[in-house]
Structure 1
Amino acid sequence: MKIKNTTSYGKNADRSMQTWIQLFRVYNKIRAKEIAYITSFGITMNQFEVLEVLYHRGDLNVGTITKLIMSTPGNVTVVVRNLKRDGYITSLPDPSDKRASILSITEKGKELIEKLFPTHAKNFEGYFEALSEEETNTLFTLLRKLHKSV
């Protein structure tokens, strides 16, 4: 027996919360599928995120990576240690800050990203195929606007 909540917090608040729930559900579904795909290559999603940033943005320090992947310094430290251990990245002292290091993706790391990223990109194309090109563009614009306002 399904019980419907009849409490309203106002038309705009109700629709905003319903929209958030839909965004969250879509995010969780896509994230779960991508975690399954990425872990099939023997790395974690967090490791993939660090490798992907280094591959597409070039050499970076840990602080910048932490911000770009929206993680925590403690988590990124563990991820970096494991990626270095497995030969996917290297680190060099940061010439502008003796306490920091610059991370760089190795050939082994590049090979892994180049192997898995094309299918990863195609997966996302598939997730959005229910939307027309115009709808996808509108969704992007609206989400970007929302992101900037929060």
Structure 2
Amino acid sequence: MENISELLNQHHLDLKTMIVFKKADRTLIPFENKTFKEHHLTPTQFSVLETLYSKGNLRIQDLIDKMLATSGNMTVVIKNMVRDGLIFRTCDPKDRRSFLVGLTPEGRKKIEKILPDHIRNVEKALKVLDEKDKEDLIRILKKFKDLS
């Protein structure tokens, strides 16, 4: 049986890093969610609108991959957003087994209204970092992408 005290001592910095990382995440989430709530969207709905706005029409699987979402949840989100007139869904002319989704004029108008507020909230949350800090943080966090 491993000695817990020894493990805690040996990995103190790892554990502290994880705790600080999680606390920072918990602090940042309300800044991000503020805009979604004000505009009556879930974070996933906002992400769909923002991704389609920046990337254009996408196959549903490509949208899921770009958003790092699960397909089960996305099926419901897409269905509801089509129902609400924010996005459209149509057969992919290149592959009849796939569907494309894109912004409707209403969806484009909504994301263009929301994005400035979102950008200001992100800027407010990250103002504690200077440009070099932000670049360093991006570089460091990218190291996690191949972890799984």
Give the letter for the 1:101 counterpart: F
C-alpha contact 2:31 2:125 (8 A) present in aligned 1:
no
Q: How does 1:5-84 map to 2 (within 5 A)?
A: 7-9=5-7, 13-84=11-82
- Matched residue SS, 1:32: helix
If the length of structure 2 is used for normalisation, what is the TM-score? 0.87
Larger relative contact order (Cα-Cα within 8 Å, sequence gap ≥ 6): 2
How many angstroms apart in 2 are the aligned matches of 1:119 and 1:145?
30
- What secondary structure is seen at the aligned counterpart in 2 of 1:24? helix
Give the fraction of aligned pairs with identical amino acids, expressed as a percent: 29
Contact 1:8–1:14 (CA<8 Å) still a contact in 2?
no
| 1:27-76 deviations in Å (ceiling 9; x for gaps) | 22222332232122122111111111000111001111111111111100
CA distance in 1, matches of 2:87, 2:112: 15
Alignment partner, residue 124 of structure 2:
126
The 1-side partners of 2:106 and 2:98 are apart by 23
Inter-CA distance 12–94: structure 2 relative to 1 (3 Å threshold) = farther
Alignment RMSD (CA, Å):
1.9
Structure 2: any 5+ residue segments left out of the alignment?
none
The aligned length equals 145
**Structure 1 residue ranges (4+ consecutive) displaced by more than 4 angstroms after TM superposition:** none
TM-score (norm 1): 0.86
